[in-house]
Amino acid sequence: MAAPMELSCWGGDWGLPSLHPESLTVMAYAKFSGAPLTVNTINKSWRTPKGDLPVLVSEDIVISQPAKILNFLRKQKYNADYDLSAKQGADTLAYIALLEEKLLPALLHTFWIEAENYCSVTKPWFASRIAFPLSLYLPGKMSREALNRILLTKGGPPLYSLTEVEAQIYRDAKECLNLLSKRLGTSQFFFGDTPTTLDAFVFGFLAPIYKVCFPRVHLQEHLKQLPNLCRFCDDILTCYFRLTVSGHSPAGQDTADANLQKLTQLVNKESNLIEKMDDNLRKSPQHPPHKLTTLKLAAGGEESSPMSRLSP
Amino acid sequence: ATLCFQAFLQMCNLPIRVICRANAEYMSPSGKLPFIHVGNQVVSELGPIVQFVKAKGHSLSDGLDEVQKAEMKAYMELVNNMLLTAELYLQWCDDVTVEEITHPRYGSPYPWPLNRILSYQKQWEVRKKMKAIGWAGKTLEQVLEDVDQCCHALSQRLGTQPYFFNKQPTELDALVFGHLFTILTTQLITDELSEKVKNYSNLTAFCRRIEQQYFEGQERDSAAIAAPSSKRSLLR
């Protein structure tokens, strides 16, 4: 609590504080639990990333994997899972295992192995944040490690070619997204109204898929068909990272206000229309047959249609 | 793993015959045990076998709603992720166990030097995989701690219910039973792994219950599975 804690991780883009799922998980957890972390994003300085990111440094202690970092934060009394029951804690572990087994391979593939994505987005982005000459070597190494991991864990027989493995991991990932969506349902977070470790992990894995603009995006398209998961990511971004959906802080607030104004104007217009139609109905005589009233309504309709053409 | 799906098939009330073959790994279409041979079809690994059985009209998880099915899948991944990897680690990455138990056992059907070559090859494969998923750097204590965490989670989820999803057994019960029973009854150098599991009394009661319900009446021979290893019944 007293010792300052510094987190080194990959930076962000496309409206995200970080592109790297594990870094994002740790940052989200820190926000949820209120831990005061100073975040250092890797830039082109010569303090090159050794080993895996994210890395937490507190006094002399250096911790490197997300699970261990989260454990450390909990021991420092920054615990986002305080209100969870034991069963919910068990569920958290299970769902995290599901994410790692089913979603992570596809995420790694989208970022590091899909040729178009890797060459046009991932490699330039990471290379621009690593000092030369490591920038020539490190992205390639990360890509090879990702491929290795996928082939070793998923690529045994009867899946003999990379395309079959790819098909299988994307099927698994889509199933995983569907399961997460069903589990989330309509609640704001996975365990009620306050975010927990599981929310941090899910956010860390989903947000890069959701936000990063890749040329090959079939996983993103699948995710966009699950509106509750998209809403979940957007909520966390707006509430905890103070970045709106468009990704800019103060300008975003203005856009939101402008949108609100437009919406109010529309609503006013509609209510005016309804009032006008009401008036017409009242003015029209009651006992003449149906047809007359319809005629009056039509007249009212004609009057209102130029207005409706104006409103978007 | 074989036990998992024997349990599963027993729960579905499907009769099976267990055969031990030395070249079982090569007969399997995916190189992994166990596999079943039905008519002229061969299916391996728990996932595809479950789907195969479902296609034939037997399913254990029909009574679950969507959220429960999601939970079941998540817990199955947890078991695969933690328990299976821990078992592999213990068998192939812990030097003492490897020397004394795994090498002799794995190479036993073959003559020298084939037994040593094949078991070294398998060990090298498993170590490569551990490295890729980040388990290579773990010490035995850390692995045991992970197993403890997993068992804790399973124990919490099971609570006082007879099965994980209350009245009916599902694939998850079969999977958990298979792994836990193997851990509890396989003799290793140290008993630490089985001690971890024994700390959770509802898990040991769960295993005993399934053993009594589904495996009683079978001969000891048919319960001995592909890899020859010494197993003791929980009832003794």
CATH number at residue B182: 1.20.1050.10
The predicted structure's pLDDT at residue A84: 82
Q: Which residue has the higher pLDDT, A159 or B171?
A: B171
Neighbours of B184 (CB within 10 A): 20
Question: pLDDT tens, B105-135?
Answer: 777 777 778 878 888 888 888 888 888 777 7
| Model confidence at A311: pLDDT above 50 | no
How far is the alpha carbon of A171 from chain B, nearest alpha carbon, in Å?
14
Q: Which residue of A has its CA nearest to B137?
A: A65
Mean predicted confidence (pLDDT) in B131-152 = 82
Q: What is the pTM of this model?
A: 0.73
Residues in B closer than 8 angstroms to A152, CB to CB, are 128-129, 132-133
Q: Report the percent of chain B where pLDDT is more than 90.
A: 0
Q: How confident is the model at residue B229 (pLDDT cuts 50, 70, 90)?
A: very low
pLDDT at B24: 58
Which neighbouring-strand residues pair with B49? Answer: none
Parallel/antiparallel/unpaired status of strands A5-9 and A37-41? parallel
Out of A94, A145, A156, name the one closest to residue B153 (CB). Answer: A94
**Element containing residue A15 per DSSP (H, E):** none
Residue from A53, A93, A144, A226 whose CB has the most chain B CBs within 10 Å, to mutate: A93
Mean per-residue pLDDT of chain A: 76
Cβ-based contacts of A148 with chain B (< 8 Å): 132
Mean pLDDT to the nearest integer, A33-42: 82
Bond into A195 cis (ω within 30): no
CB A16 within 8 A of CB A211: yes
Q: Which H helix or E strand runs over A6?
A: strand A5-9
Q: What number is the average pLDDT over the span B68-88?
A: 84
B127 in a structural domain: yes
Domain holding B139, by residue range, is 63-214
> Is residue B218 within 8 Å of B15, Cβ to Cβ?
no
Of A43-57, A248-262, A290-304, B36-50, give the lowest mean pLDDT range. Answer: A290-304
ipTM: 0.74
Does the pLDDT value for residue B52 go beyond 60? yes
Residue pair B136/B130 in contact by the 8 Å Cβ criterion: yes
In a domain, B29, yes or no: no
Specify the range with the lowest mean pLDDT, choosing from A67-71, A104-108, B191-195.
Answer: B191-195
DSSP B38: E
pLDDT higher than 50, residue A268: yes
Indicate if the pLDDT at residue A20 is higher than 50. yes
Residue B223 lies in a domain: no
Interface with chain B: mutation pick from A92, A147, A152, A201, highest number of B CBs within 10 Å: A152
Region of poorest pLDDT, from A119-123, A230-234, A255-259, B201-205: A255-259
Quick: pLDDT tens for A167-198.
Answer: 888 888 898 898 888 888 888 888 888 888 89
**Does B232 reside within a domain?**
no
Q: Residue B158 falls within a domain, yes or no?
A: yes
> Which pLDDT score is estimated for B219?
39
pLDDT of residue A287: 54
Contacts of A249 (CB under 8 A, 6+ apart): A242, A243
A65, A100, A148 ranked by CB distance to B132: nearest: A148
- Domains in chain A, ordered, with CATH? 5-241 (1.20.1050.130)
Tell me if B152 sits within 8 A of A90, measured CB to CB: yes
Chain B's closest residue to A177, CA to CA, is B70
In a domain, B20, yes or no: no
Residue B56, C-beta contacts closer than 8 angstroms, at least 6 positions apart: none
Interface contact A158-B70, CB threshold 8 A:
no
Nearest to A179 among B70, B80, B134 (CB): B70
Chain B interface, mutation test: which of A92, A98, A180, most B Cβ atoms within 10 Å? Answer: A98
Interface of B with A in 68-127 (CB under 8 A): 69-71, 73-75, 77-78, 80-82
pLDDT surpassing 60 at residue A307? no
Could you tell me the two tokens for B135? Answer: 């388990």
Residue B146 is assigned to a structural domain of this protein: yes
Specify the higher pLDDT residue, A77 or A297. A77
Q: CA-to-CA distance for A176 and B70, rounded, in angstroms? A: 9
- Give how many domains chain B has, as a whole number: 1
Question: Which among A145, A158, A180 has CB closest to B30?
Answer: A158
Is B70–A153 a contact, with Cβ atoms under 8 angstroms apart? no
Chain A contact for B66, CB < 8 A?
yes
Least confident of A58-67, A99-108, A221-230, B144-153: A58-67
CB contacts of A91 in chain B (<8 Å) are 71, 74, 157
Average of per-residue pLDDT across A21-29: 87
- Residue A291 has what pLDDT? 47
Residue B84 lies in a domain: yes
